[in-house]
Amino acid sequence: MNVRAIFIDMDGTLLTASNNISQRNLEAIYRLMNQGVKVFLATGRHYEVTVPYHKEIGLRTPMICLNGAAIHDALTGRALQMRTLQLNEERFHHLTTEIPCNVLVHTANGLYCKEKDDEIEYWTNVGQNPPRYIGDLRQANYQDVLKYSVRTGTANPELSALFKQEAEVIDWNDGFELVAPNVSKWSAIKSLLHAYRINPKEVVAIGDGPNDIEMLRRVGTGVAMGNASKEVKTAADFVTGHHQNDGLADFIERYLYKPYEPFAL
């Protein structure tokens, strides 16, 4: 494969279930970088809980965060691009307060949420940036929303479908997410490929979630993790191993390493 860039999802792909990067995954990424391949992270996470891993790997490429709603500079953290979402707030909060769920509102200025839970605790510990507000979101004063997350504990396509006229909807098995129309990891990837003058055919993307499907379909080589759903696997060109078994490194080692060439004397 003639590969100039790889875009890597984080949860369920780069990271183990304990939110660590395995040594094998790190070493595989380092060797790719040494071959001149540009490595990018493309995640649904917000910047503060992406950048510690970005720094651990030693990347200097921009970060795609919040399912493509934001792109952040590697060195300064400055938002290079933000795509905000306009919802009918009254209708949104009316619908989501009728059912038991947590609601997370990711804004340009930080996170607002209905309740504090284990995920919020983890994000606070990793990102060192607690939510700006916890409580009844109808009383919160926020603006410039990048992503809404509704955590119902189960799939809720009937509810999420009510927002498809206003937003891009990503359905998960524990709820759904909303971003601005035409926003996705792929839309952010396109911006970066244009900036770096890289052809999509020279790109690999690897992920496991419904928010990865479009990028897997659009790049030259899409790779689904072994832990991905059937829908995600169907969208990919390859299926690699489970994220707990270094499926990321397994694909890189099998298909992306260039053979070492001896120096000419």
Final residue belonging to a domain, choices 179, 194, 217: 179
Taking each continuous run of H as one helix and of E as one strand, the counts in the chain are: 9, 14
Asked whether residue 149 falls in the same domain as residue 29, the answer is no
Cα(119)–Cα(263) distance, rounded to whole angstroms? 50
CA angle 226, 29, 170 (to 5 degrees): 45
Burial of 116 (0-12, 13-18, 19+ CB in 10 A): middle
Length of the chain equals 265
* Domain final residue, candidates 131, 164, 179: 179
Domain match, 115 and 229 both: no
Ranges of the chain with pLDDT below 70? 260-265
- Predicted confidence at residue 33, as pLDDT, reads 97
- Residue 11 identity (one-letter amino acid): D
String of b and e for 188-218 (b: at least 16 CB within 10 Å)? Answer: bbebbbeeeebebebbbbbbbbbbbbbbbeb
Please say whether the beta carbons of 220 and 204 come within 8 A: yes
pLDDT at 28: 97
Same domain, 155 and 202: no
For 139, the domain range is 89-179
**179 close to 70: Cβ distance less than 8 angstroms:** no
The token pair at 237 is 């060109």
**Which is nearest to 41 in space by CA: 169, 177, 212?**
212
Residue ending a domain, choose from 144, 179, 214: 179
Q: What angle do CA 177, 125, 6 make, to 5 degrees?
A: 55
pLDDT at position 98: 80
Question: For position 169, which CATH number holds?
Answer: 3.30.1240.10
pLDDT for 260: 58
**So what's the pLDDT on residue 265?**
45
Same domain, 67 and 45: yes
Determine the Cα–Cα distance for residues 98 and 55; give it in Å rounded to an integer.
41
User: 1 to each of 29, 30, 201, 221, 257, how far by Cα in Å?
Assistant: 16, 18, 10, 9, 9
- Three-class DSSP category at 15: strand
Q: What is the count of structural domains for the chain?
A: 2
Residues 165 and 93 in one domain: yes
Q: Is residue 263 part of a domain?
A: no
The pLDDT assigned to 231 comes to 97
Lay out the sheet containing 221-224: strands in order across.
38-41, 5-8, 203-207, 221-224, 238-239
